[in-house]
A and B are shown apart, each in its own frame.
Chain A
Amino acid sequence: MLIPSDRHTPADLRLWADYEEADRVYAESREPRLDRLQFESVEILRKWATGEGGFLGTSWGKDSVVLMHMAHVAGITTPRVWVRMRSRDNPDCEFVRDHFNCAFPCNYHERIFIYEECSRDQHWKSVANEFGNRRLTGLRMDESGRRAMSVRHLGIDTGVSCRPLAHWTSPDVFAWVATHDLPLHPAYAMLGGGRWPREHLRTHGVGGETCSNRGRREWETEYYSDILRRSANA
C-alpha cells in the first residue's frame, strides 16, 4: 500500500501501478519461496529474542517495514527504535510510522540526534547504551557486494548485528509489501517517470554523503529540494 504524496508526478503513479501489478504476479508465482523466506526470518527472530537486550532498528524503508512485520508475526516484544536526525529526516517516514504502528501496535521508541555530531556513529553507541548492544537490521545480501560478503563471512547473526532478511531480494520485499498491504514509503514511487530504479531508492535522512557519487544528490534535488534547502539553511 503505497502512501500517496504530492511529490509524485502522474508519470510516477502510472509506472507504480504497473510495478504493483508485477509485484502481485511475482508473489503469486513465487509463493513457496516467500513462505520459506518468512519461515526462515521468523525462526531467526525467535532465536535472537531468546538473548538478552537489544533492539530492532527501523528507518521506515521497505526492508524495515518487512522486518517489523516479521517481528510482529514472530511475536517478539523487542523495542523497535527509529534513530532520527534532526532537520534531515525524510518527512514522509512519519506517515509510514503512523500507518504501521496503527495496524501493528508495538514497543516503539524514537531517538533524535544531530547529524553533524554523529560522524563516528555516536548515535548508534548512544542507542546501544540504552537498549543493549545487539540489534536487528533489515540488511540484505542483495543490496550490495559488500553486504553479501559480510553475511557470507560473518553469518546472519554477528553477535552485534542480526540480519533476518539477509536472503530476501528486492522483488521478494516489494512482493511481500504488496500482498500483505503493508504501508510503503512514497519515495519508492518517486521514479522520475522511469529514470530512477526503485531498488536503489532510499528513505533515510536527506542530504547525507553516503552514495553521493551514485546520484543520490540528484534524486533528492528532484524530489526533496525543499528539505535539502531547509537543512542547508538550518
Chain B
Amino acid sequence: MRPLKITCWLNSPIAGDPPRLDALLEWVMSAKMRAVLESSNGDRHTTGMPKHRGQPVVPGAIPIPLARVRVDGYPHTIPLCSDPIMADTSNDGVEYFTRRFPSEMSGLLAPTERKTVTVDSGANKSYRLPLRIRLVDRIVWFCCGRDKIDTGRSAGTETRKLLRKVYSIGKKTSDGYGQVSRWDVELTDDDFSWFAPSHDGPVLMRTLPASTKFPDRLQGFKRSYGAPVAPYWMAENYTELLMPC
C-alpha cells in the first residue's frame, strides 16, 4: 500500500461541507460504469426516479484506487482514507438561497387565467435556506493507494487521473463555489489515513464504526451515527460511529 497525501487547491469559497475522497473517486468512476450509464441514460444529472431505486447498492462495488480494510463488526470494507482536512478558514459565513412565488404579478394575468397556487408546500413552496460558505485555500486528504491497479498504473497516477475530472467540489458549484484550481497527489512516508500520532495519543482521522479495534489513548473523536462507507446517504449502511472532531 502506498501512503498518499492529496491536496485540492481551491480558487473560490466552498459551500457546505467538503466531500470524502473515496466518495469523490467513486463518483468519478461511476461515470465509466455501464450499469450507472444505463440507469441514467448516460447522464448522471437526470431527474426523476432512477431505474436502480430499490435495488441494493453494495458499498465498495465501484472500484477506486484506494485500499480497503475490513474491521470487526461491520460487514463492508472501509477505505484507507482520512476525512477531509481543511486549512485555516479565513472566513466562515453564511449566505442564503431563496425562492418565492411572485404572487404580486398575478395582476398581469387575465382574470379568467388566475388560479390558487399553494406556496406553503409542493412545487411552489417558498424557501430561504442558509448555506455555509468557507474561504479556504486547500483541502487535504491522507489515504493509502492499492498495490495492484487493473490499469497497471500506480495508485497515485490513477488517483491523479481520476481527480483531474473533478472541477469543483461542495454545494452550489454551478454558482461558482468550490472551484478547483489544482489537484496535488504526493507520496508520503507515513500512513495517516485513519490515525495520526500526537503527544497525547493517536488522533482519529476518519469516521469509523464504533466496533473497530481502536488504539489506546485515542484522541479527537466524538460518537455519532451514520454510514462509514460510501454511499454515505444510504440508511442501510448506518451504524454506531466514532468521528473526528
Contacts and interface: CB of A to CB of B under 8 A. Distances in A.
Interface of A: 6, 192-193, 195-196, 213-215, 218-219, 222, 225-227, 229-230, 232-233
B172 interface: no
A141 to B, nearest CB: 22
Nearest to A226: B225
Given A195-B92, A195-B94, A218 B226 contact: no
A179 B186 CA distance: 56
Interface of B: 92-94, 125-132, 222-226, 235, 238, 241
Contact of B128 (A214, A222, A233): A214
Contacts of B238: 229-230, 233
B129 A218 contact: yes
A225 B224 contact: yes
Contacts of A226: 223-226, 241
Interface of A is mostly: helix
Contacts of A192: 94, 132
A215 B235 contact: no
Interface of B is mostly: strand
Contacts of A214: 127-129
For A195, A213, A222, the residue with the greatest tally of chain B CB atoms inside 10 Å of its CB is A213
Nearest to A9: B245
A195 B226 contact: no
A227 B223 CA distance: 12
10 tightest Cβ-Cβ pairs between the two chains A and B: A213-B127, A226-B225, A215-B130, A195-B94, A226-B224, A233-B235, A229-B226, A233-B238, A229-B225, A232-B235
B225 A230 contact: yes
Contacts of A6: 222
A195 B132 contact: yes
28 contacts: A6-B222, A192-B132, A195-B92, A195-B93, A196-B130, A213-B125, A213-B126, A213-B127, A213-B128, A213-B129, A214-B127, A214-B128, A214-B129, A215-B128, A215-B129, A218-B130, A218-B131, A218-B132, A222-B132, A225-B226, A226-B224, A226-B225, A226-B226, A227-B225, A229-B225, A229-B235, A229-B238, A230-B238
Contacts of A222: 132
A57 to B, nearest CB: 24
A53 to B, nearest CB: 34
Nearest to B121: A209
For A6, A218, A226, the residue with the greatest tally of chain B CB atoms inside 10 Å of its CB is A226
Contacts of B224: 225-226
A193 B225 contact: no
Contacts of A232: 235
Nearest to A213: B127
A199 B235 CA distance: 32
A115 to B, nearest CB: 17
A146 to B, nearest CB: 12
A192 B132 CA distance: 9
A144 to B, nearest CB: 14
Nearest to B16: A218
A192 B226 CA distance: 21
A226 B224 CA distance: 5
Nearest to B94: A195
A215 to B, nearest CB: 4
A233 B222 CA distance: 20
